[in-house]
Structure 1
Amino acid sequence: MNLNASSTKNWYPVYTQPRAEKKAFQALTDKGVEAYLPLHRQLKQWSDRKKWVEEPFIKSYIFVNIAQHEQADILMTKGISRFLYFMGKPASMPTRQITELKLLMASPYELEITEENLQTGEKIMIKAGPLKGMTGEIVSQRSQKQLILRLESIGCSIIVHVAASYIERF
Structure 2
Amino acid sequence: MVRESSFKWYPVCTNPRAEKKAYSALLEKGIEAYLPLNRRLKQWSDRKKWVEEPLLKSYLFVRIDDSARAEVLMTKGIARFIYFSGKITAMPDRQIEELKLLMASSLELEVTEKNLQPGERIKIKAGPLKGITGEIIAYRSQRQLLLRLEHLGCSIIINVAASLINRL
TM-score (norm. length: structure 1) = 0.93
Work out which of the residue numbers 49, 53, 59 in structure 2 matches 1:61.
59
What's the counterpart of residue 100 of structure 1? 98
| Paired residue total | 167
Q: C-alpha distance in 2, partners of 1:144/1:169?
A: 17
Poorly superposed stretches of 4+, deviation over 3 Å: 141-144
Is the Cα–Cα contact under 8 Å of residues 144 and 163 in structure 1 kept in the other structure? no
2:143 and 2:130 map into 1 onto residues whose CA distance is 15
Paired position in structure 1 for 2:40: 42
Query: How do residues 133-144 of structure 1 correspond to structure 2 at under 5 angstroms?
Result: 133-140=131-138
Distance 1:136 1:77, change over 3 A: same
Distance 1:94 1:24 in 2: 22
Offset from partner CA, 1:60-100 (integer Å, 9 cap, x none) = 00100000111111000000000000111111100000000
Question: RMSD of aligned C-alpha atoms?
Answer: 1.9
Q: Which runs of 5+ in 2 are unaligned?
A: none
Partner of residue 25, structure 1: 23
- CA distance change for structure 1 residues 122 and 39 in 2, over 3 Å: closer, same or farther? same
Letter in 2 for 1:66: I
Separation in structure 1 between the aligned mates of residue 67 and residue 6 of structure 2, nearest angstrom: 9
Question: Quick one: distance in 2 between partners of 1:48 and 1:128?
Answer: 41
Q: Supply the distance in 1 between the matched residues of 2:49 and 2:146 (Cα, whole angstroms).
A: 30
CA distance in 1, matches of 2:142, 2:149: 22
Query: What is the aligned-residue identity percentage?
Result: 68
The residue type equivalent to 1:63 in the other structure is F
Structure 1 portions without partners, runs of 5+: none
The TM-score with structure 2 as length reference comes to 0.94
Deviations 1:94-116 (A, max 9, x none): 00000000000111111101011
Is 1:167–2:145 an aligned residue pair? no
- What is the 5 A alignment of 1:78-89? 78-89=76-87
